[in-house]
Amino acid sequence: MVTTSRRPSHKVRIIGRELAAVLPHAEYVTRGKKSVEETAYLAYTLGSSKLIIIGVSHGGPGSLSVLRTGKDWDWIARHPIVGASLYRELAKTKLRRGKTSKLVIKADNPGAAEYFRELFTEEHLVDEEEDKISTLHISTHGEYTKLLFHREDLPLPGPMLKLKTGLEKSWRRS
């Protein structure tokens, strides 16, 4: 499930909707006045094991936070967003809604691929039929990581997020 922080800007709401459209089995839910606990419980009751929250900073996207849902929810990750491009900015048209059933990850670093696979996929869901496939292209540059999503039925990629991860050392194999 994907949502935003309270009182999101227009761009943050659109990023949330676009992420939900490219992530497998994801659904965008308007948060409203719900607390993190209430939102995590809602995600759990809807069958989602993870909740992605797009935070706001100075009117734009400020962070990407992921938490594990359930009765005892907990934070998995939080990364500052230092840049974002919407599909509608790249393609000059709105992203058509649609359900994605599978996420293929291509990365320049195997550790980064595994890390984001754990963040963005639901372990308990089995793909009964593949409707649409999304590809996540990951490129790491020092402490920054660029995530570029592309749904196979669309002519152009998007959305794109540039995160400050600072995790590049943990991705290296010892």
CA distance 169 to 19: 27
Q: Which of 59, 93, 69 is nearest to 2 (CA)?
A: 69
Give the CA distances from residue 82 to residues 30, 62, 88, 160, in Å, rounded to whole numbers and listed in that order: 23, 7, 19, 11
State the CATH number of the domain containing residue 74: 3.40.50.10480
pLDDT, one tens digit per residue, over 76-130 is 999 999 999 888 777 777 776 666 778 889 999 888 899 998 888 876 555 555 5
Domain that holds residue 7: 2-171
Residue 3 scores a pLDDT above 60: yes
Q: Whole-model pTM? A: 0.85
**Domains: count for the chain:** 1
pLDDT band (50, 70, 90) for residue 2:
very high
